[in-house]
Amino acid sequence: MKAEIIQVLASFVGSFGFAVLYNLRGKKLCMAGISGMVSWIAYLIVWNEMPSTFVANLVAAAVATIYAETMARILKTPVTVFLITGIIPLVPGGNLYYTMNYVLAKQWHLFYLYGQKTLLIAVAVAAGIMTASSVYGICASVWKYCKKEI
């Protein structure tokens, strides 16, 4: 439990740091940090229920996208501000580093293993973003249409 709390706090700090790089201020800065924390909490919950890297990253990216879409509308900010900071904890940076390291060392078996895992995570994050963004857009259109008809 202690390790998970540290991970969640680290995801907040990492996302907060990227938000600082994007020159966010005030409430938006804190909300961008929370976006990374929310995505990592979703990842941990899914991972504990079903230890699948693909599914955990897919769901976490979808949760980050829904959070980003919602906060962008509330704070009148582009979605990418919250989406990019939200997926920062999910980016397979370490795996990508080891993949490239094993290519240079010509250790092809380890390159294949790390490359496959890196690609799997990247595809899961992309699929989660696309799916959640599409569903959110459809729901927003239906909501707007129903609101206009009533």
- How many whole angstroms separate alpha carbon 41 and alpha carbon 39? 5
For residue 150, the model assigns a pLDDT of 65
- How many whole angstroms separate alpha carbon 95 and alpha carbon 91? 9
Q: How many CB atoms lie within 10 A of CB 49?
A: 11
- Distance spanning both ends of the chain, measured CA to CA: 48
Taking CA 115 as the corner, what is the angle to CA 114 and CA 120, rounded to the nearest 5 degrees?
A: 100
Residue 22: strand, helix, or coil? coil
Q: Would you give per-residue pLDDT tens digits along the chain (150 residues)?
A: 899 999 999 999 999 999 999 899 999 999 999 999 999 999 999 999 998 999 999 999 999 999 999 999 999 999 999 999 999 999 999 999 999 999 999 999 999 999 999 999 999 999 999 999 999 999 988 988 887 776
